[in-house]
Amino acid sequence: MEQQATEVVGVTQDAFAILWALAIQYSLSVLGAVILIVLGWLLAGLLERWTRQALLRLSGVDDTLASFFGGVVRYGVLILVVVMVLGQFGVQTASIIAALGAIGLAIGLALQGTLQNIAAGIMLLVLRPFRVGEFIETSEVSGVVQDVGLFATRLKTADGLYRLAPNSILWNVPITNASREPYRMHDLNIRIGYGDDLDKALSLMVDLATKDDRVEKDPAPSAFVAELQESALIVTLRYWVATEEWWQTTRDMIRAVKRAFDENGVSVPYPQVTYNFAQSALEEPALARAERSSKRGTSH
């Protein structure tokens, strides 16, 4: 009995010795891991702020893009800290890096469309084909830009509707930005009759544009004959106006030209149906034969 008690005491002492050694060994590892986590967390936040502030000092870099790259730096540092902490406990970092690579590849394949939108969003923020408040038009969408995000762009249509467009759609198609340039040209095309005074019509159009203070004087407004149609002439008034006043100015000009033409006897004819002489030449003999056959039938 005494011998068994002695063996139990010996085993217990050995166990405590092993536990004490492990505690000392892993306490240092735990302490080092805690220090790494704290320092890594502080360093990640510091580098994120530095990256964001440095990018914002560059011209053409959006706050969204700066925040995105700042977040990339932050999470990159945190991932590196996690790998170092696991290395403190004897975990093979090579296997961890390989596992992270495999996980990243799987996530990339699963979120291929989302990553495509993110890549397109980054390119839109860097190249800036449009900004908030500008009116854009593509083959898919049109409207005033409300917000440019990493995944999608918010638009407000001309009739006040909310529209969310994925960035990949906006990046892969030609974009017309109606607000980027300070001045826009307008071609006002109007039909007049062949019997009307052409010189008077052109002079009236140029005078109206010249007297309008919103119309640019350089280049000066001009009017010319654009097309000769079968039943009317197409005359064009070409002038330049500031982009922010383009819409209202063009509508006012259309009304002013129509009133000036009415007051000066210049007609604006409706579209007319053109008589097809070639077709009538083929139809008339057939009609004549039909009439003769009907007369023979009544005579019999």
Domain boundaries, the chain: 2-110, 129-177, 183-263
Please tell me the distance from the alpha carbon of residue 136 to that of residue 180, in angstroms, as a whole number: 9
Pairing relationship of beta strands 152-156 and 162-166 according to DSSP bridges:
antiparallel
- Cα 45 to the center of its chain, rounded Å: 31
User: What class, spelled out in words, does domain 129-177 have in CATH?
Assistant: mainly beta
DSSP character string of 114-138: HHHHHHHHHHHHHH-SS-TT-EEE-
**Tell me: the pLDDT tens digits for 12-48?**
666 666 655 655 656 666 777 778 888 888 888 898 8
Please tell me the distance from the alpha carbon of residue 202 to that of residue 266, in angstroms, as a whole number: 11
Q: What's the pTM?
A: 0.60
Q: Which pLDDT value is given to residue 275?
A: 39
Q: Does domain 183-263 have CATH number 3.30.470.10?
A: no
User: In the predicted model, is pLDDT for residue 151 greater than 50?
Assistant: yes
Domain 2-110 carries which CATH code?
1.10.287.1260
User: In the predicted model, is pLDDT for residue 67 greater than 90?
Assistant: no
Determine contact, residues 182/167, Cβ cutoff 8 Å: no
**What values do phi and psi take at 260, rounded to 5?**
-65, -40
